[in-house]
Structure 1
Amino acid sequence: MDKKWERLIKQYEEHCRRIRKATTVNINEKPSEKTKRIEELAKNYIKWFEFYFPNYAKSPCSWYQKEMARLLIKFKIISLLAEIFRSGAKSVHLGMGIPLFLYFTKDLFYMLLIGQTDPKAKKLISKLQSQLQHNQRLINDYGKRYNYGDWTGGDFTTIDGVKFKALSIEQSARGESEEENRPDYILIDDVDTKKRCKNDKLSREACDTIWEDIRGTFDEGGERQRFVVANNNFHPNTVINQLKKQFKLINEKAKAAGRKSRHFIVTAKAVKDLSTFEPNWPEKTNAEYWRVKYDETPYRSFMREYQHTHVQDGVIFKPEQIQWRQRLRFDQYDGLCFYGDLSYKDAGDYKAMILVGKIGREFHVLAAYVRQTSRTNVAKWLYDYVFDNKLLNYNVKYKIEGLFAQDEFVNDFDTEGDDRGWYIPVTSDKKSKEGKYDRIEGMSGFFERGNVWFNEKYKGSTDFQNLEDQLLAFEKGSGANDDAPDALQSAIKEVNEISFINKFDTRTSSRREILDKKKNRY
């Protein structure tokens, strides 16, 4: 036997053992009490799930799990996109809890489950079979329902003729049926791969397969057509992202035609924002858990896997363009500028303060402070850096982006100066700075020509890592943070202007000198 399958079977057997152990029954329950309890549980999916699956229901259900269940139970004909963060228990409910609830309430007769690969699809459907065969509470209340077939073969059937089948997205679902019956509940679960997402053609073909081959297996005009796609939205080419765009267009058409929508999108990020870190499943985790998770996970990975943000590496700025070298003496640079991009929110967005030095054609990123913090902490860091490096002895420009509230921001630096008894001449940049994306992309030429260097002393530090992450993630419409690239672009622009003035000093001549140099006009 293949080692992969041997491992899966061992995992399955252990899973079945845990189910049997967890689903104890009350042998002293009276028949009338039992009947009443079953009827009451069948009225509420959440209570039903928590009773029959105690080993999964260790935390109360979230709002989005309740909403997915409500929609799928209420509507017999429905298309649902479950855009749920990693570890959000989407498969447990959409691939096990809800289908079994519909089955036992006689509202599901043929389930087709599509997985990323054949083993993964079969592993998903094994959860259903294991519950039917080994869940003592289900057996006690509904009787033994499993009949024949096995998840290792990709399908099984119950004693009342309901079929559960698994296929990979690479396998053809065309003509999928059991005698006169066709699927009435289709789940496409986590089918995307990073490799396929990087190929536009293959990604479009996967989406076409879902619309045509898989969705086409429904019985046209059938009473039940529940179509579900579940995944986290980590790339523009994911199936769920492509379908999300198409669902929105379909809903617009339905609205224009006066029809009720049958296409629904349920979206849940791990946290509502990166300021409070308030979780979307607070019954399971708290804000501190996600704050630590965020700190211990690379920024790009966290945003892709937990926040549905399409952070692609190196679309504009490439990893190989991030170069490191030791900084020169400050007096060797033609121009030096500290530039800050400070968000209006006190601690919600990133604050970025970057020091750039220019020598010849090169721009050296000498220091950076890139964090989600308060403006007060930015001011403290700047004063510490200036003091430690004696920067007041050099000609350094200190600027922050000049929005309507930036005079207040300047005061934050002056307040820090009041406490220390000396001041850094921070001024507000009042120039118009429209077209952020174009401005930042405009400095990519400096990176392409190898003109930008980063201070080797800070390689791997929190601030330079955040700066690097934001540069590599930068792309129009990505939703990724871009405060650091914005500050870097502005600093480069400033030192360019400084060095131009320094290189080409203004020269004046008297009127007599000008006339003496001219040829005789007579």
Structure 2
Amino acid sequence: MIQKTEKQALLDWEEFLEGIRNSTPVDINETEEEKAKRIAFLEKEGNEEEWFKYYFPKYSFAKPAKFHVESAKRFIYTKRIAQSRKWARGLSKSTRRMFEVFYLTFAKKFKTNMLLISKSEDNAVRLLSPYKGNLEANQRLINDYGVQEKPGSWSEYEFVTRGKCAFRAVGADQNPRGSRLDELRVTIIVFDDVDDDEVCRNPERVDQRFTWIQKAVLPTVDISGDYRIAFDNNVIAENCCTLRFAQYANDDETVNIRDEYGKSVWREKNSEADIDDMLRLLSYEAAQGEYFNNPISKGKVFTEMTYGKCPPMEDLPFVIIYADPSPSNKDKPSLKSKAKNSCKAVSIIGPLNLKYYLYKCFVDVTTNYTFIEWLYAARDYVVQQSKGKVQVYVYIENNTLQDPFYQQVLLPLIFEIGKERRDVLGVTPDDRDKPDKYFRIEGTLEPLNRLGQFIMNIEEKDDPHMKRMETQFLSVSPQSKTMDGPDSVEGGVHIAKNKVFITDEPGNGIMMVKRKTSSKRY
């Protein structure tokens, strides 16, 4: 059985090599003069993408995006770079890196002594195999730069070319020492798929792995030489080596599957339909981690949410529509980012008999225009459900640092959409000086949820927005970066509590008393 497996592996490898050979034909009638002229053109600075496309047509089936081109130039032309690419799945992290390493090796005559580091040795070997395969079988590389395979120094774990360029696969926590090639120390380190789900669940193991990276791997380069260090991994956990390395990188970039305008960042390869089809197969948590560099882990504050039937809206004393434009607290919006996307939330909250009902919500990464459309949709929903028989209050979070954004971006959109509808929405800015988001949500909403006094509309349970709201509640923690939905609920509940005090008094029904502001309360 083992022999059969080894035989099959050899057959698969030969098939892989044959695919490379077939995809890289050369012009046998090309003269030496024409060949030299072509190579000179391809190697000319500014023609890097032409070089990639010519030598790797098998991989270059889609035109590169702008972020691909700019990142490649920085990696190639920065003599000492520590580059962090937090690119989403499907954005060609590993393939692009191979292009760049080979460009340095052949076009720039860089003395390559490379370590490819991954979460395991097997994974490192797998990721290094395209390098080995192209050095063996890429007819265009061989035709222009000579035969690369060197007998006696050629294994799947480590290989040295005839031009004395070395490539070695190293699994996490293995010993990378002794990677010197004659007098040449390591000149390129590529970390690819180093973070592991199991390891990231244990903070001590993450500490150990990153300590290994800093103490055992990084010092393999020559401190006074030219070197390239790359860390290619989407962010899979709130505590991971990827985020830690980014703190030390002198070139740190985060690219999600969709840009700040909600469009595919690589439209030439990933269409909107392609992205939608994939996201439809994934939970909100999985999609955020794999495609938006926003890992969501289960918190301990809210372990489960309560769903139930909401009372008729006309029975409520009033309804609060609360909108969180995000960012908030430490992540303040700037006027420069007014057109960009962020996770935003609108919640429709109704209080009755000491309970707070979340009738409907809108929670998603979206534009400011859509966010304001949500506000109008929320008001329409209340009017329809209550037949116009309940008072509606609409609030938008607007602390001191957000005020220019509210005045210069959101208000004009409110009037623009209102003018189109011939019905301008009345909105009150919530200028409360809020304490930390996590502590607000925990202090205000956790007791209500635990006592069954915060109820989410059972009729909306399968709505994507309500699902995202529940996911964000269940992931609430001091480290969580995605709490915009719960934050909007907290804002609405806080206003409701201060607007009316509800008591059950026989014969008197419901009494509404305006609460006096206390200087000792937030």
Cα distance change, pair 435–55 in 1 and its aligned pair in 2 (3 A): same
Structure 2 residue corresponding to 1:163, chosen from 157, 166, 185: 166
Secondary structure of 1:500 counterpart = coil
Q: Is the aligned partner of 1:440 residue 2:422?
A: no
Assess if the C-alpha contact under 8 Å between 1:358 and 1:495 holds in 2.
no
Assess if the C-alpha contact under 8 Å between 2:154 and 2:160 holds in 1.
no
What's 1:367 paired with? 360
What's 1:77 paired with? 80
What's 1:339 paired with? 321
Q: 1:461 corresponds to which letter in structure 2?
A: D
Cα distance change, pair 240–417 in 1 and its aligned pair in 2 (3 A): closer
Cα distance change, pair 474–7 in 1 and its aligned pair in 2 (3 A): farther
Counterpart Cα distance in 2 of 1:130 and 1:184:
21
Counterpart Cα distance in 1 of 2:465 and 2:235:
27
Counterpart Cα distance in 2 of 1:346 and 1:107:
42
CA deviations on 1:201-239 (whole Å, 9 max, x unpaired) are 211221111111111222444x44322221123433222
1:127 is displaced (CA, Å) by: 0.6
Cα distance change, pair 8–300 in 1 and its aligned pair in 2 (3 A): farther
CA deviations on 1:172-209 (whole Å, 9 max, x unpaired) are 21333345443222111110012222222211221111
What's 1:24 paired with? 25
Unaligned runs of 5+ in 1: 248-262, 508-522
Assess if the C-alpha contact under 8 Å between 2:320 and 2:348 holds in 1.
yes
Cα distance change, pair 481–496 in 1 and its aligned pair in 2 (3 A): closer
RMSD of Structure 2 on Structure 1 (CA):
3.7
Cα distance change, pair 4–452 in 1 and its aligned pair in 2 (3 A): farther
Structure 1 residue corresponding to 2:232, chosen from 230, 233, 256: 230
What's 2:296 paired with? 312
Secondary structure of 2:434 counterpart = coil
Q: 1:264 corresponds to which letter in structure 2?
A: D
Counterpart Cα distance in 1 of 2:467 and 2:236:
21
Counterpart Cα distance in 2 of 1:151 and 1:125:
13
1:30 is displaced (CA, Å) by: 1.4
Counterpart Cα distance in 1 of 2:67 and 2:420:
45
What's 2:466 paired with? 464
CA deviations on 1:328-347 (whole Å, 9 max, x unpaired) are 556877x5533221649799
What's 1:271 paired with? 258
Secondary structure of 1:281 counterpart = coil
1:126 is displaced (CA, Å) by: 0.9
CA deviations on 1:124-170 (whole Å, 9 max, x unpaired) are 11111110111111122222211236886411222333321101113
What's 2:334 paired with? none
Unaligned runs of 5+ in 2: 327-337, 399-405, 506-510, 514-522
Matches within 5 A, 1:214-225: 214-221=217-224, 223-225=225-227
Cα distance change, pair 170–378 in 1 and its aligned pair in 2 (3 A): same
Assess if the C-alpha contact under 8 Å between 1:366 and 1:454 holds in 2.
yes
What's 2:269 paired with? 284
Counterpart Cα distance in 2 of 1:3 and 1:450:
61
What's 2:306 paired with? 323
What's 1:399 paired with? 394
Cα distance change, pair 54–506 in 1 and its aligned pair in 2 (3 A): closer
Secondary structure of 1:148 counterpart = coil
Cα distance change, pair 391–435 in 1 and its aligned pair in 2 (3 A): farther
Structure 2 residue corresponding to 1:452, chosen from 435, 444, 454: 454
CA deviations on 1:222-280 (whole Å, 9 max, x unpaired) are x4432222112343322221122234xxxxxxxxxxxxxxx33344333331xx22444
Assess if the C-alpha contact under 8 Å between 1:148 and 1:156 holds in 2.
no
Structure 2 residue corresponding to 1:354, chosen from 348, 352, 365: 348
Matches within 5 A, 1:418-433: 428=428, 432-433=432-433
Counterpart Cα distance in 1 of 2:136 and 2:483:
49
What's 1:302 paired with? 287
Counterpart Cα distance in 2 of 1:264 and 1:413:
41
Larger radius of gyration: 1
CA deviations on 1:420-460 (whole Å, 9 max, x unpaired) are xxx99x66365625336143332233334454332222212
How many percent identity over aligned positions? 23
Assess if the C-alpha contact under 8 Å between 1:113 and 1:189 holds in 2.
yes
Assess if the C-alpha contact under 8 Å between 2:353 and 2:503 holds in 1.
no
What's 1:246 paired with? 248
Counterpart Cα distance in 1 of 2:70 and 2:33:
32
Assess if the C-alpha contact under 8 Å between 1:279 and 1:285 holds in 2.
yes
Cα distance change, pair 8–455 in 1 and its aligned pair in 2 (3 A): farther
What's 1:196 paired with? 199
Counterpart Cα distance in 2 of 1:370 and 1:492:
17
Cα distance change, pair 351–357 in 1 and its aligned pair in 2 (3 A): same
Assess if the C-alpha contact under 8 Å between 1:336 and 1:355 holds in 2.
no
Cα distance change, pair 488–412 in 1 and its aligned pair in 2 (3 A): farther
1:367 is displaced (CA, Å) by: 3.0
1:286 is displaced (CA, Å) by: 5.3
Q: When the two structures are superposed, what TM-score results if normalisation uses the length of structure 2?
A: 0.78
Assess if the C-alpha contact under 8 Å between 2:314 and 2:387 holds in 1.
no
Counterpart Cα distance in 2 of 1:79 and 1:410:
44
CA deviations on 1:361-400 (whole Å, 9 max, x unpaired) are x43323334454353454345334533x34544x555332
What's 1:254 paired with? none
What's 1:130 paired with? 133
Secondary structure of 1:108 counterpart = coil
1:291 is displaced (CA, Å) by: 6.4
Q: Is the aligned partner of 1:186 residue 2:189?
A: yes
Counterpart Cα distance in 2 of 1:358 and 1:347:
37
Q: When the two structures are superposed, what TM-score results if normalisation uses the length of structure 1?
A: 0.78
Counterpart Cα distance in 1 of 2:381 and 2:176:
65
Cα distance change, pair 303–369 in 1 and its aligned pair in 2 (3 A): closer
Cα distance change, pair 398–411 in 1 and its aligned pair in 2 (3 A): farther
Counterpart Cα distance in 2 of 1:150 and 1:456:
65
Assess if the C-alpha contact under 8 Å between 1:353 and 1:487 holds in 2.
yes
What's 1:520 paired with? none
Aligned length, in residue pairs: 477
